Structure 1
Amino acid sequence: MRILVIGRGGREHAIIWALKKSARVAKVYCAPGNAGIAQLAECVPIKESEFDKIAQYALDYAIDLVVVGPEDPLADGIVDYLEERNIPVFGPRKSAAIIEGSKVFTKQLLKKYGIPTATYESFDDYEAALAYVRKQGAPIVIKADGLAAGKGVVVAQTIGEAERALEDIMVKHVFGEGSSVVVEEFLQGQEMSILSFVDGSVVRPMLPSQDHKQIFDDDKGPNTGGMGTYCPLPHIPQSVIDEAIETIIRPTAEAMVKEGRPFRGVLFAGLMITESGPKTIEFNARFGDPETQVVLSLLETDLIDIFLATINGRLQDMDIRWSGDSAVCVVLASGGYPGSYPKGVPISGLDEVQQSVVFHAGTAEKDGGIVTDGGRVLGVTAKGANIEEARAKAYADVERIRFDGAQYRKDIALKALR
């Protein structure tokens, strides 16, 4: 089979790495890819937003399946566009991708079907939102309604922080032209991510993982797209994981069917385990990043078989198997991230890595070498018999990689060991 993967980040690198294990996959292309992906696949200079060029390339090169990684083309309807041209594609249609594209839609859906989530109000009027925040007090959570590359959420510890967040989103439009916000109660507890292969009401959960969103150790500083992950979660009882699947993920998939928006692809549930049980923080309409790096590291079933079963209505018949090992991913980020950061900084030490797979998130090739080309640069991912072993391997290899300004968290997966 000939596969075309859409995207340029660590998630796409991990998907391609997993697909390349399959004897059924003859050739993988990636549009546009990055310097790490180029070592596994043929990179094509087509942007994720260029639907017409993607479709034409798929037809010209007899592509058997297109796999869409990022959220923006999904929200903009790339799956519908390709399906109209009879090009097989893995991912949700635009009507279902709204579960990530609009936080207001998702909160209303969860409320309608009684699915556990934080109490909230949505606003498109700045003064009304300001008055509500001042009445509720802090800590409080402010979310930009649309897509914001994982950074449109502010957990405000003070009223002043909340006011600045509302001004950034609704007045300055720092996350795009949309000015709607969701204002939520602050939930306390352990975070958990569960990605699931979904075809309508058929839900096949993957192993749970835990992301580390804040830039600094001990969950301090502004939110990022994710600074590291580990999988599975030995410190969280299986009964809690099962409760999340049965009270949140399956009901949400069924609700989307009832709404005439059946979801087909990967549904990502961001959850908080509170004293009163699991609650929904967010849903994404695709593989998470960097969750994908650890989860797919432990997948034993052929990924292409799962993709084909999902789009051909055979997901319920799949026997999906997982390794009993653990995996840890530590993200190396550019200096200044998640604010402004330089690009084109030379990276050394990649050839010294011994026990990890290094998934490239923001890299490019320049003068025969590899340089930084994004905020999150690399995801150093290692497997071990347990979290402690996987963590030790990943951090040993992180120390071998060097570029000016590199920053990373030192406490990834420590919660599992405490």
Structure 2
Amino acid sequence: MKILVVGSGAREHTICWKLKQSRKVSKLYCAPGNAGIGQIAEIVHIKADNLVEITEFSAENKIDLVVVGPEGPLVGGLVDMLKEKGIRAFGPVKKGARLEGSKSYSKDFMQKYNIPTARYEVFTDSAKALESLKDFEVPVVVKADGLAAGKGVLICETKEDAKEAIKSIIDQKQFGEAGDTVVIEEFLDGTETSLLCFVDGKSIVPMESARDYKKAYDGDMGLNTGGMGNFSPNPIYTQKLNAYIEENIIARTLNGFKEEGIDFCGVLFIGLMIKGDQAKVLEYNTRFGDPETESVLPRLESDLVDIMEKCIDGNLSSDDLKWKEEKSVTVIIASGGYPEEYKKGFEITGLDQVDEDIVVFHGGTTLKDGKVVTDGGRVLAVSALGNTLEEARERVYKNIPKIHFSNMQYRTDIAKL
């Protein structure tokens, strides 16, 4: 099979790495890829948001399967365009991707189908949004409605912070058109967990659980990021909690898909807040999470190509997913200053010095004069397996000092339970 992966982050590097293990793959492409992906796949110099050129390339090169990594192309309708050309694609069509593309639509979907979530209100007018703050306790959550690269969710500790957040999103266009609408939510207390699921249009099959660390600095301090680390499985995910989630979240979500006529094929990422043996949905994403993918896929024993094909054909079962007993830990190495301003172009050294049981997935990297240099905020994802979380964690943090680039930053408390 000839497979094209769309995207350029550590998530896409991990997907390529896992697909490469399949005997079914004869040729692997990635558009636009990065320095690490270029070591295992042929780079196609087309940006992920250039939907027309990606579709044309897939048709001209007789691609058997297109795997769409980022949310932007999904929300933009890339899968719809590929299907029109008769090209098999793994990822939801535009109608399904809207669950991530619009937070207000997503919240309305949850409310309509009685899926547990935080109380919320939606606004397009900043004055009305500011007035509504009297109905919320602090902390309060202010969200840009559209896609904002994982940075459009602001947790405000005071009413003044919330007012500034509303003004910056709606009036000052901090996130551009993504902030034309804002969602104000009650703050949910508890422990966050990530649940990625394969969906074949008829069923939702959960993968192994994981936990993401959103804040930039140790102790969950600083601004929200796209994710600074992850581990899998999440020990909070008990059998009792699993039963609650299956009945109250997964089954109701699937019912919503059927009622709304959403033919969903791909990955549904359910962000959850856990308290006791119950859970509420923080958000839906309609693709593999990042950095969840870097922790979850290394634990997958099954052939990823088989799973994706069964999702497209509508015949996936839970028996198709086999998992390693080992635990995994991933730590993100970021550019200094991320998630705000940061510089690019620093040479990365030491990647050839890490231990054999370490996998370094490239996020924001590129090649310049034959050297790997930084090219983004989240630069590398350092992942390891271990018999325990502690063992996997120790392996990761033992190897990070071997890697170097100017102004690198990372959290030192990932998976420190």
Could you state the TM-score of these two structures normalised by the residue count of structure 1? 0.97
Corresponding position: 1:375 with 2:377: yes
- Give the corresponding residue for 1:221: 222
Look up the SS of the partner of 1:16 in the other structure: helix
1:302 maps to 303
CA deviation map 1:340-387 (0-9, x unaligned): 110101111101110310000100001111000000000000000110
Alignment identity in percent?
A: 50
1:70-89 alignment, distance < 5 Å: 70-89=70-89
In the other structure, the counterpart of 2:22 is: 22
TM-score (norm 2): 0.97
Aligned to 2:118: 118
User: What are the equivalent positions in structure 2 for 1:276-355 lying under 5 Å apart?
Assistant: 277-316=278-317, 319-354=320-355, 355=357
How much does 1:237 deviate?
Answer: 2.0
Match of 1:171 in 2: 171
Partner of 2:197: 196
Q: How many angstroms apart in 1 are the aligned matches of 2:231 and 2:35?
A: 24
Residue 239 of structure 2 aligns with which residue? 238
Shift of 1:234: 2.4
Unaligned runs of 5+ in 2: none
Q: In structure 1, what is the equivalent of residue 254 of structure 2?
A: 253
Specify the code of the residue in structure 2 equivalent to 1:291. E
Deviation sequence 1:268-289 (CA, Å, 0-9, x none): 0000002471000000000000
Give RMSD over aligned pairs. Answer: 1.2
Tell me the amino acid that sits aligned with residue 136 of structure 1: F
Residue 102 of structure 1: how far off its partner (Å): 0.5
Separation of aligned partners in 2, 1:308 and 1:332: 33
Q: Secondary structure at the match of 1:351?
A: coil
> Following the alignment from structure 1 to structure 2, what is the Cα–Cα distance between the partners of residues 373 and 352?
21
Q: Match of 2:79, SS? A: helix
**Letter of the aligned partner of 1:375 in structure 2?**
G
When residues 348 and 317 of structure 1 are mapped into structure 2, their CA distance, relative to the original with a 3 A threshold, is closer
Unaligned ranges ≥5, structure 1? none
Distance in 2 separating the partners of 1:184 and 1:275: 21
1:274-316: CA deviations, max 9, x gaps? 2471000000000000000110000000000000000011113
Q: Deviations over 1:316-349 (max 9, x none)?
A: 3752100010000000000010001101011111
Aligned to 1:397: 399
Partner residue of 2:363?
Answer: 361
| Matched AA of 1:345 | F
Deviation at 1:43, TM superposition (A): 0.5
1:388 maps to: 390
Secondary structure at 2:409 match in 1: coil
Kept after mapping to 1: 8 A contact 2:202/2:314: no
Contact 1:29 1:43 in 2 (8 A): yes
Provide the residue aligned with 2:144 in structure 1.
144
Query: Residue 62 of structure 1: CA displacement?
Result: 1.8
Q: Counterpart of 2:25 in 1: which secondary structure?
A: coil
2:200–2:313 CA contact under 8 A, matched in 1: no
Asked whether the equivalents of residues 210 and 229 of structure 1 are also in contact (C-alpha less than 8 Å), the reply is yes
1:41 pairs with 2:41: yes
- SS for the counterpart of 1:350 is coil
Shift in Å at residue 254 of structure 1?
Answer: 2.1
Amino acid at match of 2:117: T
Question: Does residue 391 of structure 2 align to residue 409 of structure 1?
Answer: no
| Pair 1:105–1:405, CA change in 2 (3 A) | same
Show structure 1 runs of 4+ deviating over 4 A: none
How many positions carry a matched residue from both structures? 415
